[in-house]
Amino acid sequence: MSQALPAFRQSQALSLGVELELQLVSRRDFDLTRAATDLLGKLKYDGRFGEIKLEITESMIEVSTQAQTTVDAIAADLDGLCATLRAQSERHNVGICGGGAHAFHHWPDRRISPGERFDALYQRYGYLAKQFTVFGQHIHIGCASADDAIWLTQALAPYMPTFIALSASSPFVDGQDTLFQSARLNAVSAFPLSGQCPPLADWADFTRHFEFLAACGIVTGIKDLYWDVRPKPEFGTVEIRVCDTPLAVEQAVALAALAQALARWLLRTRPPLHTERQGYVARFNKFQACRYGMAASISDPVALCVKPLGDSIRDLLDSLQDDAQALNCARWLTLLRATITDGGDAAWLRQRQQEYGNLNDVVRACQERFLRGGG
């Protein structure tokens, strides 16, 4: 096995972890501000809720929960992490907010965070590293075995448009309405090896695939795979990576509940995989979800038809009720039903822009919403 690929560390099946990338903004004009190193350098925090750490540019902070078995525990960790970060940011007169992309920042103004890994990324990817100042939610799902992780990576892939549409919160880029619900993923797509996991039989097959890429000089570690869903062997998890960071913590928790309930249903029922066929339509379906959100039309390569994404999500939530009840997370899924009808965070942002007539106040409203800690 390649030394660059860690051994898969078995974890408790269906355990959860959540990472949120958050914006740091000036309270003067609500543009992004270079504050991450100062904030963390003076932070007094005992780590009880998880980690607070730097991300690739100085205008970002990432929080990550502890590994938990329940969605309610994830909610408690996120509340604790965000409360800690809010208090620290207030002491430094810095705003903090969610959202998949800042509405009007100028990417050349970004500064790469200190650290060997961040510098290596900048040297490798050039300006793309600064343009990667976008903000996502990652959801980790524990797997009992490495083979389960590879199976679940592929089984989850057709549901990525659902996660994109339910989390979409990046309609504005460079001061313009992009007409997308989630423009953030366009920045991710610029990176090599973005997209989907190829058809793989098991962990041994994945290891051979990774070693082939390493021998070709394409990858040096698992983080070079910018797949929408990827295994995370050192954690013993599968990681969903397509979500924008929501504007409120409650939506992030609800998305984690969806991931846990969906993973339970998939592992319990073991539906047949159509990985090769799904691969033909994956980019199209991802684009549809990013561009149109709930109004997207999604291609079904098995039934050979097109389906409204909003209707498919309603059907999915209905199908997951028993699993959600068994996991004691059904109440969180009710939050997602409202997103289907009200358009979610992207619609909220556009409504604020119409109300205020400028994007500075839109970001101010995002910061106030996050500060309240509510929906």
pLDDT tens digit sequence for 270-285: 999 999 999 999 999 9
The Cα–Cα gap between 258 and 346 comes to 19
Predicted pLDDT of residue 372 = 78
> Do strands 50-54 and 16-26 pair parallel, antiparallel, or not at all (unpaired)?
unpaired
Distance between first and last Cα of the chain: 46
CATH label, 112-356, candidates 3.40.50.2300, 1.10.443.10, 3.30.590.20, 1.10.3720.10: 3.30.590.20
Q: Write down the pLDDT at residue 54.
A: 95
Cα→Cα distances 361→82, 104, 171, 172, 181, Å:
22, 11, 15, 13, 19
Q: Where are the domains of the chain?
A: 112-356
Return all residues near 62 (Cβ < 8 A) that are at least 6 apart. Answer: 19, 20, 21, 22, 51, 52, 53, 54, 55
* Residue 3: pLDDT over 60: no
Neighbours of 39 (CB within 10 A): 20
At 14 the pLDDT is: 98
The string of pLDDT tens digits covering residues 308-329 is 999 999 999 999 999 999 999 9
pLDDT for 375 beyond 70 = no
Burial group, residue 216, by CB count within 10 angstroms (0-12, 13-18, 19+): exposed
Mean pLDDT of 249-263: 98
The pLDDT, as a whole number, for residue 371 is: 77
Secondary structure (H, E, C), 313-328: HHHHHHHCHHHHHHHC
Taking residues 90-109, report their average pLDDT.
Answer: 95
Question: Average pLDDT for residues 326-345, to the nearest whole number?
Answer: 95
User: What value does the mean pLDDT take over residues 200-228?
Assistant: 94
- What is the per-residue pLDDT for 373? 64
Distance CA 39, CA 61 (A): 9
What does the pLDDT look like over 10-23, one tens digit per residue?
899 999 999 999 99
As given in the structure block, the two tokens for residue 348 are 């909220």
Average pLDDT over residues 218-244: 95
4 band by pLDDT with thresholds 50, 70 and 90:
confident
Mean pLDDT along residues 180-200: 93
Question: What rounded mean pLDDT belongs to the chain?
Answer: 95
**Residue percentage of the chain with pLDDT more than 90:** 92
Torsions phi, psi for 50 (to 5 deg): 130, -155
Least-confidence region, from 137-141, 187-191, 202-206: 187-191
> What pTM value is reported for the model?
0.97
Cα–Cα distance measured from residue 281 to residue 273, given in angstroms and rounded to the nearest whole number: 14
User: Residue 2 pLDDT more than 80?
Assistant: no
CB proximity list for 353: less than 8 A, separation 6 or greater: 172, 177, 359, 362
Helices 71-91 and 249-269: angle between axes, nearest 10 degrees:
150
Q: Supply the pLDDT for residue 1.
A: 39
The whole-angstrom separation of Cα 152 and Cα 238 is: 7
